[in-house]
Structure 1
Amino acid sequence: MSSHGPMPRSAWIFPLLSALLFATATGAGFTFTPSVAGLVFAVALLVVLFGTVFAAVHHAEVIAERIGEPYGTLLLTLAVTIIEVALIAAIMLGEKPVPTLARDTVFAVMMIVCNGLVGICILTGGLRHREQDFQITGSSLYLSVLFVLATITLIMPNYTLTTPGPVYSASQLGFVSVVTLILYGVFLYTQTFLHRDYFISNAAGAGKDGMSTSNRMLGLSIVLLLVSLLAVVLLAKKFSLVVDFTIASIGAPPAFAGVLVALLILLPESVAAVTAARRNDLQKSINLALGSSLATIGLTIPAVAVAAYALDKQLVLGLDTQEMVLLVLTFILSMLTFGTGRTNILFGLVHLVVFAVFVFLVFVP
């Protein structure tokens, strides 16, 4: 992994550039507008933001190698979730409120991770190693919690009677948020203390290089990780303006905003997951993929719910019928894929077909 060698320049340059960009734009009172200057600012913002997200994931991986599994992938997942919450809140609660953004982003993360990322990891690993093993018990725990959280947050709002439409009432949203946090918290306790061995790879040599990171490098990565996360949070508001303009310019459907946010936050983690699959450590790929989906629902929904309640904004969570069909299909396919303990390229291809259907239906519903 990246912590075996010297720290790449991008890992410290982009966090500093993002802080400088925010300070300059704020001090000059500059904001994005449809103009030549606005276009230059938008391009610079996207480059710096993507670079900073990659830098944050790099530093989280450096720390992860020292603390070992499954704490490492848990730290990486939590770092990405912080970025996700910041971006969703900035767009959803901006000048043009988007009450469906949290729902669209969570659903997009589910589809991208559970079908796109899982499919690529299994296909890549299968082409390189034919078959790969993983812990069935750990995967079953992931799926059982994930299915319950996805159902009560994305499907149940369509069938409650207290309020009309795909929304929860204030009391229902509060109850679901608390239950979601409790369930996710118990899962983390199970993952990190009670049954840690369920989530550790049996691949040869896995997890033996954690001490290759020096104390100096570890301390520097901790500081730069915090700087990167803070910079992304601060730039989230300006990013939301660019997203709004992009969607309006190309005439994309509103759900495209959720896909954009999901792609931004998942890209670096996806690279780590695919790399692990190529190294015949599919268990780590599963930890990253399913852990991302679980954290997205378990942490993002309660956080956005609190923000929406505090600012008196409506939060639409219920999926439409077409999306619910895709979600249930993903549930069934995931149970079959992770129910044997071994994978091959056909499992990966099937997941990628479902992901292709999701992408196509975003633009041609």
Structure 2
Amino acid sequence: MLDINGILGLAALMGGLKHGEQSYNDDSARSYSVMILTAMGVSMVVPEFIPEANWKLYSAFTIGAMVVLYTLFLRMQVGPHSYFFSYSYPDKRRKKEPQESEPAPINLKLSIGILVFGVVVIGALAEVMSKTLDLGLEGTGAPPVITAILVAAISAAPEILTALRAALANRMQSVVNIALGASLSTVILTVPVMEAMALYTGQPFQMAMTPVQTVMIFITLIVSAINLNDGETNAIEGMTHFVLFATFIMLSLLGL
């Protein structure tokens, strides 16, 4: 909801109002969308129909499926099909020509270390913010999900600001990569961890969504598939996603 409808919707709306139609590589949007739909369907919709006696077997299968999906995604994003996720129109379907000068070598260990450190710090800060917000909202009658939404919004603030700057600079490909990439990572990385914890503790973790959540997710993915099918966004498409995000916030306030 936050990544696709919030970030992408607001960025496309603001960018569309400033630049009109904004182009991007539609291969990347389709690749992201189909993987998000598959990951959410396997991990959050199908579990509703799995017998309780078989939850361990399906949890193990889900972990394997998410790992395979994410491995393939990374291989395509940084490997020979990396042009799927870049915008070089009209030659976007052709691999980039070798550059004359070799790029500077990357310290892989340092990059991984910084990434892991950042994830740990963000996780710790999110936990602190969650407890603080719970105390602050105590007695106000606000639904518990509001805390989760606020923490998610604060944690995603760098992505939100980067996406908005990219949209205003007419770089919609960066917005698509940020919004859809974050949404895919949220599902495909979180699910295996939660399922592994459930298997370790022996207590099933309820991944299935409520009927309202399922409807909102499928509306979002259908609208996304229609809007991101032609390689261009505009303010109208951005507004449709942002209205869905506002609807999600309203449903959360109503406790649904």
In the alignment, structure 1 residue 357 sits paired with structure 2 residue 247: yes
Partner of 2:168: 278
In the alignment, structure 1 residue 194 sits paired with structure 2 residue 80: yes
Q: How far apart, CA to CA, are the structure 1 residues paired with 2:197 and 2:113?
A: 27
Q: How far apart, CA to CA, are the structure 2 residues paired with 1:339 and 1:248?
A: 44
Q: How far apart, CA to CA, are the structure 1 residues paired with 2:195 and 2:110?
A: 34
Partner of 2:212: 322
Deviation at 1:225, TM superposition (A): 5.8
- The 8 Å contact of residues 126 and 155 in structure 2, kept in 1 or not, is answered as no
Partner of 1:300: 190
- The 8 Å contact of residues 7 and 160 in structure 2, kept in 1 or not, is answered as yes
Deviation at 1:312, TM superposition (A): 4.1
Partner of 1:112: 2
Deviation at 1:220, TM superposition (A): 9.6
Q: How far apart, CA to CA, are the structure 1 residues paired with 2:26 and 2:246?
A: 27
- The 8 Å contact of residues 130 and 151 in structure 2, kept in 1 or not, is answered as no
Structure 1 residues 354 and 230: CA distance shift in structure 2, 3 A: closer
Higher RCO (CA < 8 A, seq sep 6+): 2
Deviation at 1:181, TM superposition (A): 1.3
- The 8 Å contact of residues 247 and 256 in structure 1, kept in 2 or not, is answered as no
Partner of 1:132: 22
Deviation at 1:224, TM superposition (A): 6.4
Q: 1:144 aligns with which of 26, 34, 43?
A: 34
* Percent identical: 29
In the alignment, structure 1 residue 169 sits paired with structure 2 residue 55: yes
- The 8 Å contact of residues 201 and 281 in structure 1, kept in 2 or not, is answered as no
- The 8 Å contact of residues 155 and 319 in structure 1, kept in 2 or not, is answered as yes
- Structure 2 residue runs of 5 or longer lacking an equivalent are 90-103
CA deviations over 1:115-159 (Å, ceiling 9, x no partner): 111111111111111111111111111111110001111211222
Q: 1:180 aligns with which of 52, 66, 81?
A: 66
- The 8 Å contact of residues 191 and 199 in structure 1, kept in 2 or not, is answered as yes
Structure 1 residues 158 and 283: CA distance shift in structure 2, 3 A: same
TM-score in terms of structure 2 length = 0.83
Structure 1 residues 183 and 131: CA distance shift in structure 2, 3 A: same
Q: How far apart, CA to CA, are the structure 2 residues paired with 1:250 and 1:335?
A: 39
Structure 1 residues 235 and 116: CA distance shift in structure 2, 3 A: closer
TM-score in terms of structure 1 length = 0.60
Q: How does 1:1-365 map to 2 (within 5 A)?
A: 111-163=1-53, 169-202=55-88, 227-235=117-125, 237-364=127-254, 365=256
Q: How far apart, CA to CA, are the structure 2 residues paired with 1:235 and 1:354?
A: 28
Deviation at 1:243, TM superposition (A): 4.1
Which amino acid letter does the alignment assign opposite residue 78 of structure 2?
A: T
Partner of 1:92: none
Structure 1 residues 116 and 171: CA distance shift in structure 2, 3 A: same
For this pair of structures, how many residues does the alignment match?
A: 241
Deviation at 1:301, TM superposition (A): 1.1
Deviation at 1:234, TM superposition (A): 4.3
Deviation at 1:279, TM superposition (A): 1.0
What is the aligned-residue RMSD (CA, Å)? Answer: 2.8
Partner of 1:74: none
Deviation at 1:189, TM superposition (A): 0.7
